[in-house]
Structure 1
Amino acid sequence: MRARTSSVRRAPRGALHSVETDASSIEPFDDMHEAGMSQPADGTPEVRVNGTARPSQAVPSSRHSASAAAPTVVSADAHEPLGPDEPLGPDDPLAPLPFNPYKGNRGITRAWHAMKNSLAGFQVAIREESAFRQELTLAAILVPCGVIVPVDPVSRVLLLGSVLLVLIVELLNSSVEAAIDRISLERHELSRRAKDLGSAAVMVALGMCLMTWGLIVGPLVLHGLRGWL
């Protein structure tokens, strides 16, 4: 049996390292090692980290204990940075987005599917939304009037654009309502607020259309009435 000199076994970061002090302690067996450590042929102890044997560094101790001390195991910091080959987690902001099978079309195929979906949206809005049908009827009257009215091109664009804006906002409002109903049909304060905000957007678009037509076409109508009377 041999007396082992005092030394500090320092393992790499993230592994367990042991501290053995000995000035007078005698180990009964020389072939016993600490858990997780292996003894190679050259006598340098090794520490196994994640199943891989790595040599440890021996640093001479500056203090010697007079009494025998049991081996002490100290846990190092377990938080290691991710390596370059480790995959990113699903919550990582740098992780790629999951594959969407509905976004696989490109070029003319994508435009063709987009046109079919748009026509399907118009059909649903006409069939299911009474407000959209009413506004579409109003547009069918105002658009021809905006084309034949004797105004400059900029004013004509404003007249037609205000009418189309009402239809756009109504379609967006209908899509918001459909999404809310898809989530839940129960009465909820947030659901009511979302639908009220969409309805307010439609009202603003209607007010803008009325103001545009009143400011551009109104003076022409008054002038025509005065000349006729």
Structure 2
Amino acid sequence: MLSPFKGQTGFKRVLNAAGYSLDGLMAAFKGEAAFRQLVLLNVLLIPLSFLLDVSRGERALLITVCLLALIVELLNSAVEAAIDRISLDLHPLSKNAKDMGSAAQFVALSIIAVVWAVVLLG
């Protein structure tokens, strides 16, 4: 079955996609404390990366890993929302899905710590 939302093409599709993306960012910012905390972390770390005496490549890496954590949190929040939409009942598969999303975010935050430590100390 074809989705009625897939009918746009060209520039109209790009505009629609941008709007949906902004809606998603706003929903995450308004509804997810973890996302707001990561935004704050990015607001602190990204400007700091420009004050550090590192190469362009290192700076790009420092910024990239920070943004990666935002992406992972958006995906984690999306999984949680979908699971909650299906049912708020406790179920082992729902718990596994949510725990795996949380684990992905833990890995992303660990990557930030390791990359920043290697660049600054190494």
| Band of TM-score, shorter chain | over 0.9
**Percent identity, aligned pairs only?**
46
The residue number in structure 1 matching 2:66 is 163
Q: What pairs up with 1:109-148 in 2 under 5 angstroms?
A: 109-148=12-51
Runs of 4+ in 1 over 3 A off after TM superposition: none
Residue 152 (structure 1) shift: 1.0
Is 1:149 the equivalent of 2:49? no
TM-score, reference length from structure 2: 0.96
Per-residue CA deviations over 1:151-175 (Å, capped at 9, x if unaligned) read 1111111100010000000000000
Residue 177 (structure 1) shift: 0.3
Q: Over alpha carbons, which structure has the higher Rg?
A: 1
The residue number in structure 2 matching 1:101 is 4
User: Hey, which of these two has a bigger chunk of strand by percent?
Assistant: 1
How large is the RMSD of aligned CA atoms in angstroms?
0.9
Q: What is the CA–CA distance in structure 1 between the aligned matches of 2:32 and 2:42, rounded to whole Å?
A: 15
Q: What is the CA–CA distance in structure 1 between the aligned matches of 2:121 and 2:42, rounded to whole Å?
A: 18
Aligned length: 122
Q: What is the CA–CA distance in structure 2 between the aligned matches of 1:188 and 1:141, rounded to whole Å?
A: 38
Q: Which moved more, 1:124-133 or 1:143-152?
A: 143-152
SS of the residue corresponding to residue 166 of structure 1 reads: helix
More contact order relative to length (CA 8 Å, sep ≥ 6): 2
Instruction: Specify every segment of 5 or more residues in structure 1 that has no aligned partner in the other structure, as ranges.
Output: 1-97, 220-229
SS of the residue corresponding to residue 186 of structure 1 reads: coil
TM-score, reference length from structure 1: 0.52
Instruction: Specify every segment of 5 or more residues in structure 2 that has no aligned partner in the other structure, as ranges.
Output: none
Q: What pairs up with 1:56-75 in 2 under 5 angstroms?
A: none
| Residue identity matched to 2:8 | N
The residue number in structure 1 matching 2:79 is 176
Q: What is the CA–CA distance in structure 1 between the aligned matches of 2:7 and 2:50, rounded to whole Å?
A: 40
Is 1:212 the equivalent of 2:119? no
